[in-house]
Amino acid sequence: MQELQASTAPAGQGPAALPEAASLEAAGYVALPAPAARARFDAAGTALAGPAWESFAASWAALEPDRFMADGGRYRLRRHAAFRLAPGTAPQRLPHRPHYQTTEHNPLNGGIERWFAPVTPEAEASPALAALLEGARAVFDALRPGTDWLVEMHQFRIQARTGEAGKPTPEGMHRDGVDFVMVTLVGRHNVAGGVTGIRIDGQPGEQSFTLEQPLDSVLLDDHRVWHGVTPIAPLDPDQPGYRDVLVLTFSVRLPPSPGAAGRHTGPE
Ligand SMILES: [Fe+2]
């Protein structure tokens, strides 16, 4: 099992001026171990550390059961929210809506509108969330300048219990059906497994790594990368175990208007 290693590429010019964006464009994904995520997303050290982070992470203790598990599993808890990130404006929470994936993208649980418990106002207002939303936006904007983004926020807790495998991705290797994804580990407690595998551009073989430390993150181009996570089990079967993750998916809500500064010039 590999720990998360930083993947970097030389900074490019123009839209890929951020090294993280250049890596994402070159490789289809970029790994940001916790120190790199903190440095990039929270230079002041006030949002992704200390009380702000602790209280955001604590909100994972108040997730609600996912009632749409076609495998009958009761090991997944979650909350969901949608935001609009329009150019030059702060994230705007959208009215609560269902989460929808096609059966092509999610053969197990797709094809229906799934309503999940909403993200709480306290979690929505967290400086940690603001830092992560803005940090991810900066990277994705470097590749799609001027985009009006639809962001879906998913808080997941997968429980590891004796006798029932906790499956972070019960649908197996998949794409989310969006444009870009950031996955950030919030915490692991008494958990074995949970290895992330990714397959890029349909090439054979997988790369694998484990999000081990809080804030270990990976950013994916969802058009190029299939991803999945192995089941988890409790290290100590007599104690509860869980893996907490934040997933932010970015979809192009509106492409840049013609003539807007910083039109998309990246690859299609
Ligand atoms: Fe996914």
Contact 123, 56 (CB under 8 A): yes
The pLDDT of residue 1 is above 90: no
What separation in Å is there between the alpha carbon of 46 and the centre of ligand 1? 29
pTM (2 d.p.): 0.90
Kindly state the average pLDDT of the residues 177-182.
97
Q: pLDDT tens digits, residue range 112-160?
A: 899 999 999 999 999 999 999 999 999 999 999 999 999 999 999 999 9
What separation in Å is there between the alpha carbon of 59 and the centre of ligand 1? 21
What separation in Å is there between the alpha carbon of 220 and the centre of ligand 1? 10
The pLDDT of residue 39 is above 90: yes
What separation in Å is there between the alpha carbon of 138 and the centre of ligand 1? 21
CA–CA gap between residue 214 and residue 196 (Å, rounded) = 15
Kindly state the average pLDDT of the residues 196-200.
95
Task: Quickly state the pLDDT bin for 251 (edges 50, 70, 90).
Answer: very high
* 4 or 83, greater pLDDT: 83
What separation in Å is there between the alpha carbon of 174 and the centre of ligand 1? 6
What separation in Å is there between the alpha carbon of 91 and the centre of ligand 1? 22
The pLDDT of residue 266 is above 60: no
Quick one: tokens of 207? Answer: 């790369």
What separation in Å is there between the alpha carbon of 261 and the centre of ligand 1? 32
What separation in Å is there between the alpha carbon of 76 and the centre of ligand 1? 14
What separation in Å is there between the alpha carbon of 42 and the centre of ligand 1? 25
Name 256's Cβ contacts closer than 8 Å, sequence gap at least 6: 87, 144, 145, 146, 147, 148, 262, 263, 264
The pLDDT of residue 261 is above 60: no
Q: What is the pLDDT of residue 254?
A: 74
What separation in Å is there between the alpha carbon of 248 and the centre of ligand 1? 10
Quick one: tokens of 115? Answer: 């309503």
Contact 159, 241 (CB under 8 A): yes
Question: Backbone phi, then psi, for 13, in 5-degree steps?
Answer: -105, 170
The pLDDT of residue 182 is above 80: yes
What separation in Å is there between the alpha carbon of 259 and the centre of ligand 1? 34
Fold of 29-66+74-254: Jelly Rolls (2.60.120)
Q: pLDDT tens digits, residue range 62-111?
A: 999 999 888 888 899 999 999 999 999 999 999 999 998 888 888 888 88
What separation in Å is there between the alpha carbon of 122 and the centre of ligand 1? 25
Percent of the chain residues topping a pLDDT of 70: 89
What separation in Å is there between the alpha carbon of 227 and the centre of ligand 1? 6
What separation in Å is there between the alpha carbon of 169 and the centre of ligand 1? 7
What residue spans define the domains of the chain?
Answer: 29-66+74-254
